[in-house]
Every structure is written in C-alpha cells, then in structure tokens.
Amino acid sequence: MSALLIRDLRLAMRAGGGFGLGLAFFLIVVTLVPFGVGPETGLLARIAPGILWLGALLACLLSLDRILALDWEDGSLDLLATSPLPLEGIVTMKALAHWITTGLPLVIASPLFGVLMSLPGAGYGPLVLSLLLGTPALSVIGTFGAALTVGLKRGGLLLSLLVLPLYVPTLIFGAEMARRGAEGADPTTPMLMLAGISAGVIALLPFASAAVLRVNLR
C-alpha cells in the first residue's frame, strides 16, 4: 500500500496536480474577493470564513479528474484491480494521495490567506482545525465521483456536477465552525458534525467507490 501511495504522489506531482495548483487557485480567489466586494476590513472579516472554505473546496475540485484518469488511460487501473490488493484499499490510497497533494497544503497555507482576508485573530485556530477535519472528506467524496466518471470522455464537468452537491454539508459545517471561532463563539457543535461527516465518509465511501469501479471495469 505504501508503494502505491508513493507512486500516486509522484504521478500527481508529475501531472501538474500537485501542491502548486491548488494553492495558486486558492490565492487567486482570496486576492480577487476584495476587488469584488471592496477593501472594507469589517466586511472582509465577516465573509472571510465562508470565502476561505469555498476557495479550499474549489481548489480541491480542480484535480479530482486526475485521481483515476491517468491509471485508466495507461491500463494501470485494470492491473491494480486484478492485483492481490483489495480495491477498497487502492481507492483509499488514491484519496489519501489527493489529500496530501491538495488538501494538506491548503490547511498549512490557510493562516496566510486568512491574513489577506482580514480574518479576526480568534478565527485562525478554528479555521485550520475545520480544514484539517473537512478536507479529507472532500478528497474521499471526490474519489467516489472520479470512480463514477472514470472512462467517460470529457467527464470533468459531469464529475463536478456529481460531487458539488455532496460537498455542501462539509462546506456548511466547516464554514460555520470557522465563523463561530472568528466571532468568539463556541465552535464545538459544527466541529463534531464536521468530524462525523468525515468519519462516516472515510468509513463508507471507499467500499462504494470500489463497487463502482468493479462495474466500470467489466
């Protein structure tokens, strides 16, 4: 499994879906928002949690079509499916590789982007924690969407349409946790909901993704 994870990390970096792509998109979103809503610090501070979470979600969405497409194109996916490794484990490693190359850099860089959005000082800890709890769910859900659309020509748009509705609960509770933290309120309830969503998704969706892949590979 570790060899598969290292391979997927190398492929993600080599194919242009690595650390820089998501961070660059996140930076563009954070930079453009003040031009659209104005440079007023109070307004930016109020909308910062939602904008930062939305930017992270869209940045994760950018590289979802590469999770399985490269293996499908060169035939590696068929070999992996017939290997002794369980397909559920293979899907989990691919989701983990996507999180490491996309979600984790966003978590690490989020305090800097919070500064650009005038996020209140009390909101940095809850923002980072919310992204740390929520971005794994984004990667696992995205892997499920990639399994549904693997092999389809121009499936990137369909993948986005399938995945975005599934992202909504994570976005709601992640942004709410960051907002409550920024306002000095108790973020425990949205934090528990966000952690529950991530735990449930990680526990269940790899089996669904593996089942879908078995159907698509027949």
Question: How far, in Å, CA of 209 to CA of 207, rounded?
Answer: 5
Instruction: Give the alpha-carbon dihedral of 79, 81, 83, 84, to 10 degrees.
Output: 170
201 pLDDT higher than 60: yes
Residue ranges making up the domain that contains 42 = 2-216
pTM above 0.75, yes or no: yes
155 pLDDT higher than 70: no
What is the pLDDT confidence band of residue 194, given thresholds at 50, 70 and 90? Answer: very high
**Nearest one of 158, 192, 161 to 176, comparing CA atoms:** 192
Question: How far, in Å, CA of 136 to CA of 126, rounded?
Answer: 16
Cβ(92)–Cβ(4) below 8 Å = no
Q: Using only C-alpha atoms, what is the Rg of the chain?
A: 18
Average pLDDT (91-102) is 90
DSSP per residue, 2-45: HHHHHHHHHHHHHTT-SHHHHHHHHHHHHHHHHHHH-S-HHHHH
Is 97 strand, coil or helix? helix
79 pLDDT higher than 80: no
Q: Per the structure, how many domains does the chain have? A: 1
Give the residue, 180 or 81, on which the prediction is more confident. 180
End-to-end Cα distance, the chain: 24
Average pLDDT over the chain reads 86
pLDDT tens, position by position, 119-131: 998 899 999 999 9
84 pLDDT higher than 60: yes
- Could you give the angle at the alpha carbon of 92 between the alpha carbons of 175 and 146, nearest 5°? 70
